[in-house]
Amino acid sequence: MLHLVALVSVYGQYHVLDVNEIEHLTDAPKQLPEISGFVVTPFNTVIGHNDKGGKTRLYEFDMKTGEKIRTIEIENAKSKDWEDITSDSKYIYIGDFGNNRGRREKLKIYRVKWPEKGSERLTLKAEKIRFEYADQTDFKKKKKHNYDCEALIAYGDSLYLFTKNRGDERTNVCALPKIPGEYIARVTQTFDSDGLVTGADIYGKGKHTILALVGYNKTEQTYKPFIWTFTKFEGSDFFSGQAVRVNLPMHVQAEGIHFLNGKKVLFANEEGPDLNSALYEIKIKSLIE
């Protein structure tokens, strides 16, 4: 059930989505109570993963019915805190970079080949892209810091991380190569997201490219989700063009986001009290106009 809520933004270009503009597609399968990231496959199915802990598995399911199709085991990997997943034409990238209390010194992105259509159970071997933040020197446990991350995209020849800044509620952008190895992640851009960013995706080419960030503002009582869209930017200077914020009229822990095509975007929420993890659909036109 969606609960209407009055939201206020300090931004000039924003709006609150009408509840009728959000379509509930399906509940996620029971194996994904904490769905934190997902991608849509060339076969029009969804591959998703859970949040921190648990087994190193991806689950493929039907986006219309939520029925689990198969389990994909990931070898040569650990599930410390998987937070987002993205892909290009050859690989899927799994971001094991959740860092709630700012204590992690070694962060990873796992790269696996796109799974072929077929067997009910599949095993893929992961390659590792390791990284550290260039400017983090303090690894003491704390609630307020800017070194958590839950959002990842593959764009051109690079991977881009969008941090979940618990300290200032902005998001920083760091670029990494797609090639396995060890790297230093340096901040290249910062945007005042006015909330915690928990997922990202990008779609299109050239001047028609659109970037979407999903996240939420959290109070002691509830989550207030939002989606930022960015258009008319040059190259990977994502925040140089037009930015629009849409507040979603519901109380859910929004986590992953993915463009279904040039007309629709999907987002997911984690399980909550009296609320199943689920997929929702929104028309892109509703987010950018």
Structural domain boundaries in the chain:
14-288
* Residue 215, pLDDT score: 98
Q: What is the CA radius of gyration of the chain?
A: 18
Residue 211 has pLDDT above 90, yes or no: yes
Q: Which residues make Cβ contacts (< 8 Å) with residue 202, sequence separation at least 6?
A: 153, 155, 209, 210, 211, 212, 259
Q: What is the pLDDT of residues 14-54, one digit of tens each?
A: 789 999 999 999 999 999 999 999 999 998 899 999 987 77
pLDDT of 2 > 80? The answer is no
Q: Is the confidence at residue 287, as pLDDT, over 80?
A: yes
- Regarding the domain delimited by 14-288, which CATH topology (the fold level of the hierarchy) does it fall under? Tachylectin-2; Chain A (2.115.10)
**What's the whole-model pTM score?**
0.94
Predicted local distance difference test score (pLDDT) of residue 15: 87
Pick the range with the lowest mean pLDDT from 66-75, 110-119, 255-264.
110-119
For residue 4, pLDDT over 60 is answered with no
231-249 mean pLDDT: 95
Q: Which of 241, 237, 243 is nearest to 213 (CA)?
A: 243
Computed over every residue of the chain, the mean pLDDT equals 92
> Looking at residues 98-127, what average pLDDT do you find?
92
Nearest to 164 by CA among 220, 113, 101, 209: 101
pLDDT at 7 over 50: no
Question: Is pLDDT above 80 for 108?
Answer: yes
The Cα–Cα gap between 30 and 71 comes to: 12
Give tens-digit pLDDT for 144-177.
999 999 999 999 999 999 999 999 999 999 999 9
CA 271 remoteness from chain centre: 16
Q: In the prediction, which pLDDT does 149 show?
A: 98
pLDDT of residue 142: 92
SS (H, E, C) 101-133: CCCCCCEEEEEEECCCCCCCEEEEECEEEEEEE
Q: How confident is the model over 46-86, as pLDDT tens digits?
A: 999 998 777 899 999 999 999 999 999 999 999 999 999 99
Query: What integer pLDDT is reported at residue 220 of this predicted model?
Result: 80
